[in-house]
Amino acid sequence: MFEREVEDFLEKLRTRREFLKVSGKGVAGITVTASVLNLLGCSNSDVGSATAVVTPKGILISDQSRCVGCQRCEMVCTLTNDGKVHPLISRVKVSRNFNYGTELTSDYRNKDGYFGNFLMTPETCQQCEEPKCAEVCPKEAITLDEKLGAWTVDESACIGCGACTEACPWNMPTIDPEDKKSTKCILCGACADNCITGALKIMPWEEVAAAFKRKGYRFS
């Protein structure tokens, strides 16, 4: 079972990374199983709590079990990218899920969020293979920046219509109410760089390869 999980993951990584290199298109988020996380040195149990996004720099891991809800990622994101503290337009989103997770239900005392089981839900842009945000943009203002390996917004073209927000299944791009421009993750890494518990973390490709190699898996 474990072998298969790891092989599956490696296969996905290989193809997605190859895809990223060759086509210049984005790659979708991959759910990382606990076994794989364990192999990467991220955890030590058989229950999964993390998701990962494959990026040119490495794997961006967001780990629910480590997120403490301090929301410093949102502050650092917007200070870095916007020069102000503005959680609404943060490209990583935690505060909106702080109380009740992604949804307020009648059973909220047993669900995710501080009013329930305390679990936080940090959300990051998935840098989708075929991003809806770019697809619906009437000005084609969202394109892949090959250097960054991220879908980015051309502010001069953006008209702030909010179609990208609506189209994204997770409503991640957000229109800044002040300058009416869409804000979207460019994989700058500031959130992970400043995460106080390592709940958000970019594992560089060299480290990923080394971790697999230590366990006898081939990965280049």
Partner 1 sequence: MSNVTGWTGKMLRVNLTTGNITTEDTMKYKEFIGGAGIGYKVIFDEVAQGTKAFDEENKIVIAVGPFTGAGVPCSGRTNITSLAPTNPYNAVTDSHMGGNFGPFLKFAGWDAIILEGASKTPVWLKIEDDKVSLEDASHLWGKGTVDTSNELNKVMGKEACIASIGQAGENLIHLSSIVNSVNHSAGGHGGVFGSKKLKAIGVRGTGAVKIAEGKAQEWLKLNRYMMTDIIGANNQHVVPSTPQPWAEYHNKGSRWTGQPALFWGAAEPPVETGECPQGNPNKVGLRTQKAIFDLGDVAEDRTIKMGGCHSCPIRCQSNLKVPELEKYGLTPYAASTCIGFINPGTVMNVNWRGTEEELVIKSLGSRLADDYGIWSNYGQLGRDFRYVLNSGKFKKVLSEEEYNSIPWDLAESEDPAFLLEFYRRIALKEGEFWKIAQGPYWLDQEWNLGDEYWTGYGNNVWSKMAFPKHHSNEAGAQVGVLVNIMFNRDANSHTHMNMIGAGLPLELLKEIAGEVWGSPDAFDEPQNYTPMNKYKAKFAKWSLDRNFLHDSITLCNWVWPMTVSPSKDRNYRGDTALEAKFFSLATGIETSEEELDLAAERIATLHRAATIKEMATIDMRNEHDIIPEWAFTDAKNPDAKPFTPGTVIMDREDMQLALTMLYKEYGWDEKTGAPTRATLERLNMKDVADELEKLNLLPS
Candidate list 27, 39, 43, 112; residue touching partner 1; CB under 8 A: 43
Candidate list 5, 12, 57, 88; residue touching partner 1; CB under 8 A: 88
Q: Is 9 in the site for partner 1 (CB under 8 A)?
A: no
* In the complex, minimum distance from the CB of residue 65 to partner 1, in angstroms, rounded to a whole number: 4
> 143 near 149, Cβ under 8 Å?
no
Collapsed DSSP state (helix, strand, coil) of residue 194: helix
> 33 near 47, Cβ under 8 Å?
no
Q: Is 194 in the site for partner 1 (CB under 8 A)?
A: yes
Give dist(CA 95, CA 4) in Å, integer. 36
> 64 near 121, Cβ under 8 Å?
yes
Give dist(CA 205, CA 220) in Å, integer. 9
* In the complex, minimum distance from the CB of residue 142 to partner 1, in angstroms, rounded to a whole number: 22
Place of tokens 């770019």: 134
Considering only residues 99-158, where is the footprint of partner 1 by CB under 8 A?
A: 99-100, 103-104, 108-110, 114-119
Candidate list 20, 53, 60, 75; residue touching partner 1; CB under 8 A: 75
* Residues paired with 145 in a beta bridge: 150
Place of tokens 């991959």: 30
Give dist(CA 115, CA 209) in Å, integer. 40
Candidate list 14, 41, 45, 155; residue touching partner 1; CB under 8 A: 45
Considering only residues 155-184, where is the footprint of partner 1 by CB under 8 A?
A: 177-178
Q: Which residue ranges make up the site for partner 1 (CB under 8 A)?
A: 34, 37-38, 43-49, 65-72, 75-76, 78-80, 82-88, 95-96, 98-100, 103-104, 108-110, 114-119, 177-178, 190, 193-198, 201
